[in-house]
């Protein structure tokens, strides 16, 4: 049996165990990774390289920063402003937070945007009994992903696709900064409306009264804590400093190659500890280690799928389902579905790296508009939110302790809506033939 087939079998078992939900998610992910190691699907270095990667450093460090914003009272202050704007209405908090997150992530790092919003929403849910962490984090995480699909720099997915397109069509014939903006912002508007009028009541049914993230202090029985104004101002300065560094990370990286968003988060977390905004003991306690292990192990499984050819095997099988005489529209629809399905489990950029070259060859051979196919498939690849395995950003929402099936139930309908927008709108804006 080939490594590609073995990787798909292991992957299918892991997904089934996630859906079954009888074992801890971190345990299931580690079992899958170990199975790939023992069957020589992935090397030890590739399987475990993400345990020391910048993304996991970013996630853990921002958990510390988030707890520090709570300890100093800054998160509660910001939260109260949002609550005041929303007049204490949880549904409006959800909609405002979703809209703000999507707009920010269209221009800044999706992960960094979500990390900051988690910090703020932790304070809101902890200081106001009318707002539940679970009800807010899911749509906000989706907004961080989908918002990133609205501009060329919104996420690395678009930049990867642009590189592939220019390599095929020629330099200067790739996407412009706002190529994705009309369909992207249309989907963002739909997401905000979905979060407020469909997702809000749907989420309450899905997770009901399940407990919120255990690291969020939510007790209302304790006496109201008095916060030191000086520490609050200091934390605000650290927070702004963090935002500025997130924006400048790529520029600084040209001078200091090791500098990235993970470095920014680590610097911020260290400053929080050194300035007394959070103690060393509280910092370690604030990190959700189950999430950290689960996340890194899942990336190891994805590495196994990629290196073994499992992802490419799936794509080839899908393409084989269609004949050579398929119309431009139905070929486009088929590839949109393929990309959306694959990106729920594999890296967005990896899926496009596998699928786009095949699409370019087919569209050129059939005389279809390669550029328009690339636009639709790139946006489809950049907005995966229906499983926590879809990408780093949506995976971070596991901090709220959702079940695997929660994502399918909550984000699934929105994913279908987004697909319909791409299927209808992109061919109008960029004719397929």
pTM of the model: 0.71
Counting other chains too, the contacts that 357-362 makes at CB distance below 8 Å and 24 or more residues apart are: 357/164, 357/168, 358/315, 358/319, 359/335, 360/164, 360/165, 360/168, 362/319, 362/331
Residue 219 is predicted with a pLDDT of 40
With CA atoms as reference, report the closest residue to 61 among 323, 262, 233. Answer: 262
Non-local CB neighbours of 266 within 8 Å, separated by 6+ positions: 57, 58, 61
Q: What is the mean pLDDT of each run of 10 residues along the chain (433 residues)?
A: 91 82 85 95 88 79 82 74 76 92 82 80 78 92 94 82 84 84 96 97 90 50 68 92 82 87 89 94 87 80 82 68 78 93 83 82 85 96 90 86 92 96 97 94
Token duo for residue 130: 């009318």
Residue 87 is predicted with a pLDDT of 76
CA 271 remoteness from chain centre: 26
Residue 323 is predicted with a pLDDT of 62
Q: Where does 140-194 show beta strands of DSSP type E?
A: none
Range list of H helices, 348-431: 348-366, 370-382, 392-396, 404-429
Distance CA 50, CA 62 (A): 17
């Amino acid at each position: 049996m080939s490594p590609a087939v073995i990787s798909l079998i292991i992957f299918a078992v892991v997904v089934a165990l996630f859906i079954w939900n009888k074992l801890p998610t971190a345990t299931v992910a580690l079992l899958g990774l170990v199975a790939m190691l023992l069957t020589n699907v992935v090397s030890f270095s590739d399987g475990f390289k993400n345990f020391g990667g910048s993304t996991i450093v970013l996630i853990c460090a921002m958990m510390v920063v988030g707890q520090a914003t709570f300890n100093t009272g800054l998160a509660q202050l910001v939260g109260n402003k949002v609550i005041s704007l929303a007049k204490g209405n949880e549904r409006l908090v959800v909609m405002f937070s979703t809209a703000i997150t999507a707009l920010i992530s269209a221009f800044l790092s999706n992960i960094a945007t979500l990390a900051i919003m988690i910090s703020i929403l932790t304070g809101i849910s902890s200081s106001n009994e009318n707002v539940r962490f679970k009800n807010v984090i899911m749509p906000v995480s989706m907004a961080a992903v989908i918002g990133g699909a609205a501009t060329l720099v919104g996420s690395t997915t678009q930049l990867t696709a642009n590189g592939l397109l220019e390599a095929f069509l020629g330099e200067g014939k790739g996407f412009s900064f706002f190529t994705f903006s009309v369909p992207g912002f249309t989907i963002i508007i739909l997401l905000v409306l979905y979060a407020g009028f469909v997702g809000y009541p749907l989420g309450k049914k899905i997770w009901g009264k399940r407990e919120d993230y255990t690291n969020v202090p939510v007790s209302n029985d304790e006496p109201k804590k008095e916060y030191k104004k000086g520490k609050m101002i200091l934390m605000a300065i650290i927070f702004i400093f963090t935002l500025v560094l997130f924006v400048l990370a790529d520029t600084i990286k040209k001078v200091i190659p090791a500098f990235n968003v993970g470095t920014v988060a680590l610097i911020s977390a260290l400053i929080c500890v050194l300035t007394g905004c959070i103690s060393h003991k509280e910092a370690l306690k604030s990190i959700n280690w189950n999430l950290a292990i689960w996340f890194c192990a899942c990336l190891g499984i994805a590495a196994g799928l990629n290196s073994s050819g499992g992802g490419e095997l799936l794509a080839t099988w899908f393409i084989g389902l269609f004949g050579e005489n398929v119309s431009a529209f139905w070929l486009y629809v088929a590839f949109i579905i393929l990309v959306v399905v694959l990106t729920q489990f594999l890296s967005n950029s990896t899926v496009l790296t596998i699928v786009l070259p095949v699409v370019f060859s087919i569209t050129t051979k059939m005389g279809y508009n390669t550029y328009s196919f690339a636009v639709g498939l790139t946006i489809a690849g950049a907005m995966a939110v229906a499983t926590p395995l879809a990408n780093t950003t949506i995976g971070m929402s596991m901090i709220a302790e959702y079940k695997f099936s929660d994502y399918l139930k909550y984000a699934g309908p929105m994913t279908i809506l987004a697909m319909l927008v791409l299927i209808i709108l992109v061919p109008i804006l960029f004719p397929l033939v």
